[in-house]
């Protein structure tokens, strides 16, 4: 349990059909040097025995079983709502395909206790199978076809990244957020259906409220990317493209929109050649349909994809 002098932290883990990697994720959290108030797992209607595994191996973990796959923002919000009903100061949101080291959460708490202007702090994310190579050290919005550029992506970590780098946003898959920030600006926007850019939107709202967002390299996690939704699947590329267009429509000025449109169309032709040659043509079709449906403001098809 947390001592009186330590701010309370709850951890919210989102899961969908990933029993084995979820076990490793929870185990790493349980080995944290920082005493966790609650570990909350939100399960998006898994059918692989994930819930039974938690009940058997981690009896004190709070389980929230959703009736269907609600996707990332809606599913994560359910866990965040549970967390902030308690007397906690911070919520650490974590994806099931990450593992943390024992100092990960304590480093973030120490930073944020000393930096009251920081609303959200992200962990430095490495590839699980390439432990010294950076997957993400935060993101900047650049309004190209993928909307953002990822700080440090693909670089071997040699200490070149600023220890506390201010960014536009950090992924909600490994982010410590002050409870009062959720109370001030709200939770994730569930209009970003399923997956993609809900954390971009959240970061933009945090910064517009006058706060800072940083990636803190002393806080480290290791990631197995694409374990749930695939690397270039129809579903992944559709949801990303549809949600990217929604973001641009919500926040982009005329110049931003034209820039995004140019890169999105050019990128689609490039993807057709590059990914088509790799056998990923369905992902290309997903991206094209997602862009089209995003412009139309269509929601029903994205919702239907979550059921598959």
Per-residue pLDDT reduced to its tens digit, 86-126: 999 999 999 999 999 999 999 999 999 999 999 999 999 99
Confidence (pLDDT) at 232: 83
Tokens found for residue 138: 């935060």
Q: How many angstroms separate the Cα of 277 from the Cα of each of 100, 268, 271, 273?
A: 36, 14, 9, 6
Q: Where in the chain is the domain with CATH 3.90.550.60?
A: 9-223
CATH code that applies to domain 9-223: 3.90.550.60
pLDDT at 4: 60
3-state secondary structure of 149: strand
Candidates 159, 132, 139, 133; CA nearest to 217 is 159
> What pLDDT shows up at residue 3?
58
Q: Say whether pLDDT at 248 is over 90.
A: yes
Taking 80 as the threshold, does the pLDDT of residue 221 lie above it? Answer: yes
> Minimum mean pLDDT among 13-17, 133-137, 143-147: which range?
143-147
pLDDT of residue 228 exceeding 70, the answer is no
Return the percentage of the chain with pLDDT > 70, whole number. Answer: 97
284 in helix, strand or coil?
A: helix
For 13-65, write each residue's pLDDT tens digit: 999 999 999 999 999 999 999 999 999 999 999 999 999 999 999 999 999 99
**CA separation for the pair 204, 142 (Å, rounded):** 13
pLDDT for 1 beyond 50: no
SS3 75: helix
d(CA 265, CA 271): 10
The pTM of the full predicted model, rounded to 2 decimals, is: 0.95
**What's the chain's average pLDDT?**
95
């Amino acid at each position: 349990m947390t001592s009186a002098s330590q701010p309370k932290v709850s951890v919210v883990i989102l899961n969908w059909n990933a029993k084995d990697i979820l076990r490793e994720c929870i185990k790493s959290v349980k080995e944290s040097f920082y005493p966790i108030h609650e570990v909350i797992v939100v399960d998006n209607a898994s059918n692989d025995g994930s819930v039974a595994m938690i009940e058997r191996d981690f009896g004190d973990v709070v389980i929230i079983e959703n009736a269907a796959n609600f996707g990332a923002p809606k599913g994560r919000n359910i866990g965040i709502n549970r967390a902030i009903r308690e007397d906690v100061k911070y919520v650490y949101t974590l994806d099931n395909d990450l593992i943390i080291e024992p100092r990960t959460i304590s480093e973030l708490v120490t930073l944020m206790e000393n930096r009251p202007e920081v609303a959200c702090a992200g962990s430095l994310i490495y590839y699980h199978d390439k432990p010294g190579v950076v997957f993400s050290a935060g993101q900047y919005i650049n309004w190209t076809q993928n909307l953002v550029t990822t700080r440090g992506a693909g670089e071997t970590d040699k200490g070149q990244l600023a220890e506390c780098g201010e960014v536009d946003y950090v992924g909600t898959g490994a982010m410590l957020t002050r409870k009062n920030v959720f109370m001030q600006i709200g939770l994730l926007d569930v209009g970003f259906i399923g997956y993609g850019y809900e954390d971009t939107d959240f970061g933009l709202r945090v910064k517009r409220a006058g706060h800072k967002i940083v990636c803190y390299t002393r806080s480290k996690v290791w990631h197995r990317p694409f374990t749930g939704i695939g690397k270039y699947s129809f579903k992944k590329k559709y949801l990303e493209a549809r949600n990217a267009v929604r973001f641009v429509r919500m926040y982009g000025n005329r110049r931003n929109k034209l820039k995004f449109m140019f890169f999105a169309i050019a990128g689609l032709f490039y993807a057709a050649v590059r990914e088509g040659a790799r056998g990923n043509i369905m992902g290309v079709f997903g991206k094209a349909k997602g862009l089209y449906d995003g412009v139309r403001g269509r929601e029903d098809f994205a919702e239907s994809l979550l059921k598959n």
